[in-house]
Structure 1
Amino acid sequence: MTDSASFSERHGYHGADVEITTREDAPEEVRAAVLMLGYAAGMGPSGMRDTVCEVLLKRPDPNNWSPGNIENEVHRLIDDAPWYKVYDIAERIHAEIAREDYTGTKQAEYARRLTQFFREHGVGWQMEEGRIVFRGSEAFTLATRDAVATMQQAGSPTAANEVHEALKDISRRPSADVTGAIQHAMAALECVAREVDGSTDTLGQIIKRLTIPQPLDGALHRLWGFASEQGRHIQEGREPSFEEAELVVTVASAVSVYLLRQATPAGSR
């Protein structure tokens, strides 16, 4: 933490995570935060206008040349932008910050503060490595993070890659690929189940042989049935909801971690 850190940053105070209520939208406060954090990172009005205009493919107003008028123009541009373009602008600002970031810290600070803002305002996105990606519930985050780490440690790169693909699908903008997320999440679980079972059977056949206590084994079988119907054999007019996809990815990830840990001796974890 630098000497210029604020009181709350120095002492570790921050607002609690708010329940996610904003996904396919960019409310006024989000639009303001994207710009204000860019200015705080050292971008000037002219550079900010160039960045915003490039993303929106708008011609800068040649009649605006003073800093105050340029800032007003930038605010009008982002206020009128489609919601998903606001997050494109955030990514571009992050990239542009590097041009004048001689300390090598401003990009990380922009990403950290923007993500913290999202958490405190119930926005279901976060910035990772300069990209705006999906942010799920706390259970979703813990389950998917543990799944990837556990799969890699257990030597299951295919399953880990399937979880990565599920996260990419559920993060797609402007519309998440919910069926793709379900397919990849269940594919990851099937990979793990086959490895634990030592067979090439389908997940539906393997479930009854897994060391999952009743009645949780029945719940897993129903999850597999739901995923098979909604992820592979979509009924006309019955596309899975975003919340259903998030639930499947969360549960599939958590069960995968459980199976791998059950199959791994405690001393070797």
Structure 2
Amino acid sequence: MDGSSQFSDRFGFRPPDAVITIREDAPEVVRDGVVMLGYACGLGPGAMRDAVCEVLLKRPDQNNWSAGNVETEVSYLIDGAAWYRVYDIAERLYRAVGEGDHTDTRRPEFERRLNLLFQEHGVGWQMKAGIIVARGSEPFELATGDAAQIMRRAGTPTAANELHEALKDISRRPAADLTGTIQHAMAALECVAREVDGSTDTLGKIIGRLSFPPPLDTALHKLWGFASEQGRHIQEGREPRFEEAELVVTVASAVSVYLLRAAGKAT
């Protein structure tokens, strides 16, 4: 048994994931958690200050030299940072905790505990391999988790790249590119549909020739129309909402995987 593990980790106790309510914000619980994780994963006050100052492009206060004063300075800098800089700092601390770590355990532990913090407090972000990306609903995570990999294995790398761009756009800080998200997600689905159909038609024309039982074909036509309006012909004053973009990515990913598997191009 690992004597350094916590009681809750050893016995698998954890609260259920909170409903996502935090996206364009870094409340106090997140700021505190990022700082404390840096210390918990081996960074001293000086290293913490160096990392934070590097992200914020601030010069360390040379009048602060004692550990206590430096810790206070770090807290002051974190508290005053723009919300999206807090997530930049988390990425920088991830890199910092791994420097000189010959056990290769500190970065995974930092990431694991940070993601638990996000899940427990309804934060719509997550860290993957040291990079903060958008965290969506459970259906979103399930639909997009392996979709790009399945697309590549099925011989549709362009579709995989489009889905990758959609996920990048929805994860942009400080503001997600929701229009770009919708455009790229539907482009991914269109690439897959063309591969399955063996044509270069638009998705709107291909839908009727695909293996969708009614009324799913009608629903897909409506999704195509919505995406065309929001992603290509957006109206003044009608920006898509995050939840709408998330829904389009979720459905496009799931439908793409379904089509590839139905055509025998993916397992």
Q: Please classify the TM superposition score into its range, dividing by the shorter chain length.
A: over 0.9
1:146–1:257 Cα contact (<8 Å) kept:
no
> Within the alignment, does 1:210 sit opposite 2:195 as a pair?
no
1:40 corresponds to which residue?
Answer: 40
Of stretches 231-240 and 177-186 in structure 1, the one that deviates more from structure 2 is 231-240
Mapped to 1, the partners of 2:92 and 2:109 lie a distance apart of 15
1:235 maps to what in 2? 235
Aligned to 2:262: 262
Q: Tell me if structure 2 keeps the 8 A contact 1:94–1:111.
A: yes
TM-score by length of 1: 0.95
Q: Give 5+ residue unaligned stretches, structure 1.
A: none
The reply to whether residue 189 of structure 1 matches residue 189 of structure 2 is yes
In structure 1, C-alpha distance between the alignment counterparts of 2:147 and 2:253, rounded to whole Å: 5
Give the drift of 1:220: 0.5
- 1:10 equivalent in structure 2: 10
- What's the counterpart of residue 22 of structure 1? 22
Aligned residue for 2:81? 81
Deviations 1:170-204, CA, capped at 9 Å, x for gaps = 11111111111111100111111111111111100
The answer to whether structure 1 residue 108 and structure 2 residue 105 are counterparts is: no
Which region of structure 1 is more displaced relative to structure 2, 85-94 or 99-108? 99-108
Q: TM-score if structure 2 supplies the norm length?
A: 0.96
1:211-249: CA deviations, max 9, x gaps? 111111111001001111110111112121111111111
Question: Counterpart of 2:99 in 1: which secondary structure?
Answer: helix
CA contact (8 A) 1:51 1:92 kept: yes
Moved more, 218-227 or 140-149: 140-149
Structure 2 residue matching 1:76: 3-state secondary structure: helix
Partner of 2:150: 150
- Mean Cα deviation higher: 156-165 or 25-34: 156-165
Distance 1:56 1:158 in 2: 37
Q: Distance in 2 between matches of 1:57 and 1:92?
A: 13
Instruction: Write the deviation string for residues 88-116 of structure 1: whole angstroms up to 9, x where unpaired.
Output: 11111111112231211101110111011
2: CA distance between counterparts of 1:98 and 1:149? Answer: 28
Is the contact made by 1:42 and 1:100 (CA closer than 8 Å) also made in structure 2? no
Shift in Å, 1:146: 3.2
CA distance in 2, matches of 1:107, 1:77: 23
Give the Cα separation in 1 of the matches to 2:4 and 2:152: 39
Task: Tell me which amino acid in the other structure corresponds to 2:5.
Answer: A
- RMSD across aligned positions (CA): 1.4
Q: Secondary structure of the residue that 1:244 maps to in structure 2?
A: helix
Give the aligned residue type for 2:198: G
Residue 221 of structure 1 corresponds to 221
Which residue does 1:132 correspond to in 2? 132
Question: Aligned partners of 1:211, 1:3: CA distance in 2, in Å?
Answer: 55
Per-residue CA deviation, residues 1-23 of structure 1 (Å, 9 max, x unaligned), is 84311111122222211111100
Structure 1 residue runs of 4 or more that deviate by more than 4 Å after TM superposition: none
Per the TM alignment, residue 162 of structure 1 is displaced from its structure 2 partner at its CA by 1.0
Per the TM alignment, residue 63 of structure 1 is displaced from its structure 2 partner at its CA by: 2.4
Q: CA deviation at 1:134?
A: 1.0
Tell me, which stretches of 5 or more residues in structure 2 are unaligned? none
Query: Quick check: 1:52 aligned with 2:52?
Result: yes
Judge conservation of contact 1:159–1:189 (CA < 8 Å) in 2: yes
* Residues in 2 aligned to 1:47 and 1:164: alpha-carbon distance in whole angstroms: 34
User: Which segment is superposed worse, 64-73 or 161-170?
Assistant: 64-73
Q: In the alignment, residue 230 of structure 2 is paired with which amino acid?
A: Q
